[in-house]
Chain A
Amino acid sequence: MSTIRIRSPAAYWLAVPAALWMLCAVVVPALLILWVSFWGGRQFSAASPLVLDNYTRFFGNQTYMNLIVQTLIHTATLMAICGVLGYCIAYFLVVKVRNAKLRTALFLAFIIPFWTSALIRAIAWVPFLGTNGVINNALMGLGLIDRPVEVFLYSRTGISMAQVSLYTLMASGPVVYMLAQIPPALREAAMTLKAPPGVVFWRIIFPLTLPGVVIGQVLVFLNVMADFATVATIGGNKIALLANLILNFYEGAQIRAAAVVSVILMACMLIGVVAAMRVVDIRKLGA
């Protein structure tokens, strides 16, 4: 017994406002994008004939095809870096740090920047990366280079550096959650049975944290694929990925092309999420 009866009409009606809001703000707009991507003609009109021209034009352009490949490669790189780094940090925080206060302090230091503006954090990387930036000055001060190197600002290296600092927490958080659920007795049992540390990790700990790893990878994947702000801030106008293309098309009043890119982006994300769901059942996480 609780303040709400199971399967009562009240429960149903309480859900209606939130459901309606999400339908109007997310589901209907997504369907509209799909619809507009098939519009022919030039007017912005619901009476536009439905054609495939927008897609054939997009897929016929080699530059755009390259952009899709580059975006996927860039995202995969970030997933790998953030995944390994995030797992190491999660493992250290949960398993290696014994002092509860120290663990809380480190965890807060890890998580607090995540709650501040991602835009500001991306901008904060700019003074680091320029030819006159902190990194170049430090490298020159150490005598490692004698001329400023230009690989950082307006480059994919610089974008990746900033994105690693932005998204590692997303790869790490779910792993922390899964690691914290593993009873210590499990490891002790394995050790008692003379399993070497490597075997304990790869055969027991890692498989148990796999759902967390996958969720983390999905989060990094979704965020990097959709991140246009870091790319625009650090890449200047020199680098563009798929999400920036939507922005460019929209600002150039090419609504149909923007819709096509959006649909492709959504399709990529959907495939990614479905593939991840095949590996693990996300619903089990909450249980």
Chain B
Amino acid sequence: MRAAMRDDLPFPRTEVGKETEAYNFAYLDEQTKRMIRRAILKAIAIPGYQVPFASREMPMPYGWGTGGVQVTAAVLGPDDVLKVIDQGSDDTTNAVSIRRFFAKTAGVATTTKTREATLIQTRHRIPEEPLRDGQILVYQVPIPEPLRFLEPRETETRKLHALADYGLMHVKLYEDIARHGHIATTYAYPVEVAGRYVMDPSPTPKFDNPKMDMCAALQLFGAGREKRIYAVPPHTRVRSLDFEDHPFRIQTFKQPCALCGAEGGYLDEVVLDDRGGRMFVCSDTDFCEERRAAGHRGAMAADGDAAGETR
């Protein structure tokens, strides 16, 4: 059925239900989506390069993922299966409302399962389960310019990118080591894409940086307020910047997930009470649930799924 709908593009609104009829498919008008797709194609052609685009007003405030939502709207097809995560979680307000937004305006199927999704919009995490060919990961980006910290002038940062003049990026890392004895940047850790452009991977933990390298999925980045789109095509080298004597390292956790017992995943700290009780659990809720469904148990997991409900 959905394949048939494709033929009706650009006006496929007939089959998505009564409520949806007030909107064009995926909310944005076709001209806008075409404009955004052109920006995306350019971004894919020049990995890591920030392509300006005419960001639209969206029915949500800046900072809530307007860039990611526009990119998703532009690439979403009727037969896509959408997953939305916020800090790894499928059920935070932000994730739920974006998922509902597209269910309502595009009528697409949604899921919380990484494996089932064809398109994943994310805020600040990359799923633990390796992505595969054909999947698209859309990042919400607040500040796309990795050099902004040291160079406030846009004209100058553009020139620095054009000349691959990235000494400044290392000044930032130098400052980290000078102040903390190690590179203390743990989020939005700058990467070099395909040996050329330096890119801000959005505020994902640096733990996720290695997943970007040679990733099978297409990675798209949208910054709504800053009006920039950039991309990492599938199977592209993504290298985290570092010093020879202070090589890039990801965070490690002393204990496994308290719920599913997973080791080597990215954990969130959950405060349990006001007496200092706390637990560390997978930030990727889908990953954690899948493991528990497969019978894995962590130290604090009650029988069944009781502990999971505290989240």
A, B bound = no
Task: Please give the residue numbers on chain A whose beta carbons come within 8 Å of chain B beta carbons, in ascending order.
Answer: none
Task: Please give the residue numbers on chain B whose beta carbons come within 8 Å of chain A beta carbons, in ascending order.
Answer: none
